[in-house]
Amino acid sequence: MTAEEFEIKADHQLWRDLGMDVERFEKMRLTLGEVYRNTFLSQKNRPAAMDYFDRLVADMHNGRIKEMLAAKAQGRPVIGTFCVYVPEEVVIALDGICVGLCAGSPASIADAEKVLPRNICPMVKSAYGFKAANICPYYQAVDLVYGETTCDAKKKTWELLDKLVPTHVMEIPQMKRQRDFAMWLAEVEDFTARLEEMAGRKVTAASLAAAIDTVNSKRLALQRLDRLRCHPLLPVSGRDVLLVEQCSFYDEPVRFAAQVNVLCDELEQRIAAGIGLAATNPVRIMVSGTPMALPNWKLHNIIESSGAVVVHEESCIGSRYYRDIIENNHTDLPAQLAALTRRYMRINCSCFTPNDERLEQVTAEYAQQQAQGVIDYTLQFCHTYNIEAARLAQTCAAQNIPFMALESDYSPEDIGQLRTRVEAFIEQIAD
């Protein structure tokens, strides 16, 4: 799809039926389209298979919403989420839809700040503001929002959000001991019971096994993409891979996995033909830190427009989401839920203490992706990642890994400052 052809599609009647502020969302639609064209469609020689993801974004406020509404009409649960700790396999086992909610734009933050403090994470404010202002069709279409307790700002915001939309909060342990596992397993069982009550039917061993296969396939496709992107030829940009990762939280999982594998097939063909970015010999950057919810493309755009390329994301939008799959060799439901919980407990969020596993994960993935430097990205007021950046800096220094920590929000105001720092970091590595 060319820049001239691309447009974020509108369905004003659908949005009115959902109770949205259509006039305001229309302005957001136009702005998003312009940003998307400048960020993605200005790239040269993109893989042809990225056309699917361009079209997915173009229709994401209409086509996917209609699929969600059709599911609701059939009595299938539709669950909105913000976090990779949601056991999406349980939702799918009940023939439901698990979908990410809007939380990556500054457009709704002013609405949130009428209620929430200014000095909390912009992702939390963005998420709350989208519902408070009725400017996210996904929020308007879900039956239930899944919240978790990975930070204080989130767990208190869910109390307020529950007044606007039903919100189920799952307690995430802060350590990884056996008793923490037992507590987390009980939370998974409670979440399952809540969804079974909504759906009017039970999760079975057979339905959960099928759902585990579905989500495992999605994660395996993303793992394949991650391996191919770091080939010495660099057959795809980091911006495009970030977009694919973000789309994994919105698209139907079977369809999404198939399209990622189509992209991977093309990347293998490009590698065989010697097509890639390697001719420009760009510096290879790994990004770690807080998640980059769609449409937060700021840092990747800065890095890659400065002559480098992003070869990996150690974040909840990246490898923390897809690096582990669930062993699917159990035939009874309690064992399946235990295996599911063990897999989710391997996600190395900075809410955990101690969190040595994350430091090991960053350095292992750095070597695996043949990166040349780490940029640790933290959203403002995300205290756990901000503090953990100090330990990560020490770990990287001990292994002679070039490292830089950045803190930002969703606004464009600091782009110039960030670009100056990123360009200096890239130049330091290139020398």
Query: 392-417 pLDDT, tens per residue?
Result: 999 999 999 999 999 999 999 999 99
DSSP letter (8 states) at residue 62: T
Q: Are residues 184 and 69 in the same domain?
A: yes
CA pair distance 421, 1, nearest whole angstrom? 33
Rg (Cα) of the chain, in Å, rounded? 21
**pLDDT grade, residue 50 (50/70/90)?**
very high
pLDDT in tens, 358-390: 999 999 999 999 999 999 999 999 999 999 999
Q: Is the dihedral of CA 117, 119, 123, 126 positive or negative?
A: positive
Place of tokens 């998307």: 36
Whether residue 6 lies inside any domain: the answer is no
Same domain, 197 and 215: no
Domain shared by 417 and 278, yes or no: yes
Return the pLDDT at 345. Answer: 95
Q: What is the CATH number of the domain that holds 92?
A: 3.40.50.11890
- Same domain for 78 and 154? yes
pLDDT over 80 (residue 101): yes
Count of beta carbons in the 10 Å neighbourhood of residue 95: 16
Domain span at residue 243 reads 208-325+349-430
The H-assigned helical ranges of 178-326 are 178-199, 205-229, 238-247, 253-272, 298-305, 319-322
Amino acid at position 113, single letter? E
The residue type of 327 is E
**Claim to verify: residue 139 and residue 214 sit in the same structural domain:** no
Q: Beta 167-170 vs 144-148: how paired, if at all?
A: parallel
Tally of structural domains, the chain: 2
380/291 same-domain check: yes
3-state helix, strand, coil in the chain (%, to 5): 55, 10, 35
pLDDT of 356: 97
Position 261 scores a pLDDT of: 98
Q: Are residues 89 and 115 in the same domain?
A: yes
Q: Are 146 and 87 in contact (CB under 8 A)?
A: no
Question: How far, CA to CA in Å, does 296 sit from each of 103, 107, 176, 409?
Answer: 9, 12, 31, 9
- Single out the residue of 305, 309, 129, 322 nearest to residue 220, CA to CA: 322
